[in-house]
Amino acid sequence: MPYSSDRLLSLVQDDHTDEVIDLENRIAGRALHGTDRAFEELIRRILGSWTRAFGGPDQAALPGGMLRQILATAQAAVRRLLGDIADHAPGALTDGLGPALVMGVRQGTEFVRAASGRRRSEPRVPSVGRLLRAEAHRLRDVVTERRDRALFLLHPDRVHRWSQMLAGLGAARAAIPAVRAHIAWVINTAVHEGLDAVVRATAPLRLWVSEADACVRCLAYTGRTVAVDEPFPGGLSWDPRQRAGRAPGVEGPPLHSHCRCRAVPWNDAWTTAGIPFPLALRHEAHRSIAYGRARPSESRAARLRAVRELLRTEPDLLPAVEARARRALRTSSFAPAA
């Protein structure tokens, strides 16, 4: 039965990605268990103490015992909150590795069935390897680094104004997104190991499928295929400033923190009644660049450089995509999505 490229794209970018994000969130919930709210309360409490002691956040602190007491309270809270994360997060992430591998095998098998039109049994789920476990336990170091930075900033010699106090508390609170990013990285790596087991059991090629709001680096990979035992080329990007000409090959996604791209099993012999899936992916990447579908973390300048490169190197763009790309360059902006 011929496959539908639209269905394959929806399966990977919507159904499967949503499942992975849900797993990430469950693990992060166990690892962080309300720490963000605790930091909000801590900042309010310390601000109240500062205001009572010195008159308000716009007032400089007076040296002496009151400042040392406020700082001691903040330091103790930082040690307690981040110590709790350091104790619980590695175990929570380790417990999620097995389910992530199972998910990768199941998702890969579902993709092969949808692409080939044939039912296939799932290959054996890989065991959790030493490197995955080591990455899970490295969460303690991620948290400890933020704690030590925060305690360095929350020293009496370095805090004279509320902005400096807030910088120290903010450095501690930055452990929360760092933990989430590390969890996403490790879980997506584990999912991909499960997916790779399906690749080796069912197909001669691996095909890069970027996520819906992929960055300009990942969009340069989407639609590319490599043999099962070969890496993808290194250093690719639609933004010329982000390219690395002599970069080593890339084994596969995730390419960066919070990357949820996939390298799925692929066989050029699978048939379609429409556009072949690799070509459909490249068209989708062109559309993403021209329409400016970027994450908030990616700069508009990077996307505009990618647009310029798209127009320079792709002579056969779809007319609507070319029109949007030229408009973006002309106005140095992207029209809002309809």
139-160 pLDDT, tens per residue? 999 999 999 999 999 999 999 9
Cβ distance 292 to 227 under 8 Å? no
Tell me what pLDDT residue 258 has.
86
Cβ distance 237 to 216 under 8 Å? yes
pLDDT of 28 over the 60 cut: yes
Q: Which two tokens stand for residue 109?
A: 């098998």
Task: Give Rg (Cα) of the chain.
Answer: 24
The sign of the dihedral angle between the CA atoms of 58, 59, 60, 61 is negative
pLDDT of 293 over the 90 cut: no
Mean pLDDT of 84-112: 97
Tell me what pLDDT residue 338 has.
54
pLDDT above 90 covers a percentage of the chain that reads 89
Tell me what pLDDT residue 74 has.
97
| Closest by CA position to 140, among listed 168, 189, 182, 171 | 182
Query: Is the bond leading into 319 cis (omega within 30 degrees of zero)?
Result: no
Distance CA 252, CA 250 (A): 5
Give the confidence band of 337 by pLDDT, cuts at 50, 70, 90. low
pLDDT tens for 186-245 read 999 999 999 999 999 999 999 999 998 899 999 999 999 999 999 999 999 999 999 987
Q: pTM (2 decimals)?
A: 0.91
| Closest by CA position to 338, among listed 319, 325, 326, 324 | 324
Tell me what pLDDT residue 244 has.
84
Tell me what pLDDT residue 75 has.
98
pLDDT tens for 116-138 read 999 888 999 999 999 999 999 99
Cβ distance 337 to 266 under 8 Å? no
Cβ distance 229 to 294 under 8 Å? no
| Closest by CA position to 236, among listed 254, 225, 250, 226 | 250
pLDDT above 70 covers a percentage of the chain that reads 99
Distance CA 225, CA 231 (A): 10
Q: What is the C-alpha end-to-end distance of the chain, expressed in Å? A: 34
Mean confidence (pLDDT) of the chain = 94
Cβ distance 23 to 96 under 8 Å? yes
pLDDT tens for 159-184 read 999 999 999 999 999 999 999 999 99
Distance CA 20, CA 131 (A): 20
Distance CA 166, CA 56 (A): 13
